[in-house]
Amino acid sequence: MDMNTSFWIFTSLLVINVVLYIVGLVRGLVALEKTVRVLFVPFVAGLIHSILALYLPDSYHIMMTSAIAFVAGTVFMLLTLGDKIKFLRMTEEFFFAATQFSWFLLLSSVYRIYRVPQWLFILTGGLYFAGFIVICFFIKKQSFTKYAASIILYAFSTVLGTTSLLSIIFEKRLFSVMAFLGSLVFMFGTVLMIFQKTRPFAISEKVEKILITITAIASSALMGTGAILMQV
């Protein structure tokens, strides 16, 4: 298939998916809403990879690493359909962390290329630690398992956020900005998942699912765009 053709096919599918998702929400068609929600990440992945194949056909490392991230993101979205089951919830969190770790691998070259001062690690680590203290204030007293899971999820988001921020500082390129914005969306998703477990606020399940869907689409699109711009 011609890569330009695949680009327009995935673009059309993504637009149709958005329309169907809105229809499912407005009309209360739960089966439709759940089905199209899972398809968002694969369609974004197809769109991003068609652009990479069209304009950057030799970017094998970027394609492979982003493909792993997109697969992990798709599995995560699939598992959100059954997150009332404890095992599926734990597996869902694992794939959410795996998605972030995959994107981290794409950006980790900043540690090999540049000599990063220790004070930058201390500063960024302190900022993220302060953020986690605020989160703990809201979630209050919880079981050890919930605290441990929250710390692990937050740690993955912190690593991705720190790496993308360092990439902005040292690379000074547009892809780093897109990756940093994507990491912020991932951080929002992490906070949302922590709050889902601990329920400090009265947020309806429907609103939670909408926010998770928006987070998955936005983070995939931003990180994918960053991947495209890495070799531009």
132-170 tens-digit pLDDT: 787 777 776 666 677 777 788 888 888 898 889 888 988
| 5 falls within a domain | no
pLDDT higher for 88 or 101? 101
**Which whole number is the average pLDDT over 172-193?**
89
Q: Determine the pLDDT at residue 80.
A: 84
| 200 falls within a domain | yes
Residue 228: band (very low, low, confident or very high) from pLDDT cuts 50, 70, 90: confident
Alpha helices in the chain (DSSP H): 3-27, 30-55, 60-79, 86-107, 109-113, 118-139, 144-171, 174-198, 205-229
| 46 falls within a domain | no
Domain that holds residue 187: 60-229
- pLDDT tens string 20-56: 999 998 888 888 888 898 999 999 998 888 888 777 7
**Which whole number is the average pLDDT over 82-92?**
77
Report the alpha-carbon distance of residue 179 to residue 104 in Å, rounded. Answer: 10
Yes or no: say if 99 and 93 are a contact pair by the CB < 8 Å rule: no
- pLDDT tens string 64-74: 888 999 999 99
Backbone angles phi, psi at 48, to 5 degrees: -65, -45
**Which whole number is the average pLDDT over 121-139?**
77
Q: Determine the pLDDT at residue 72.
A: 92
**Which whole number is the average pLDDT over 118-126?**
80
| 1 falls within a domain | no
| 142 falls within a domain | yes
| 157 falls within a domain | yes
Number of domains in the chain: 1
Q: What's the mean per-residue pLDDT of the chain?
A: 84
Q: Is 130 a residue whose pLDDT tops 70?
A: yes
Q: Record the pTM.
A: 0.86
Yes or no: say if 168 and 180 are a contact pair by the CB < 8 Å rule: yes
| 98 falls within a domain | yes
Q: Determine the pLDDT at residue 145.
A: 74
| 182 falls within a domain | yes
Lowest mean pLDDT among 87-96, 99-108, 189-198, 207-216: 189-198
Report the alpha-carbon distance of residue 202 to residue 182 in Å, rounded. Answer: 26
Residue with tokens 């540049």: 114
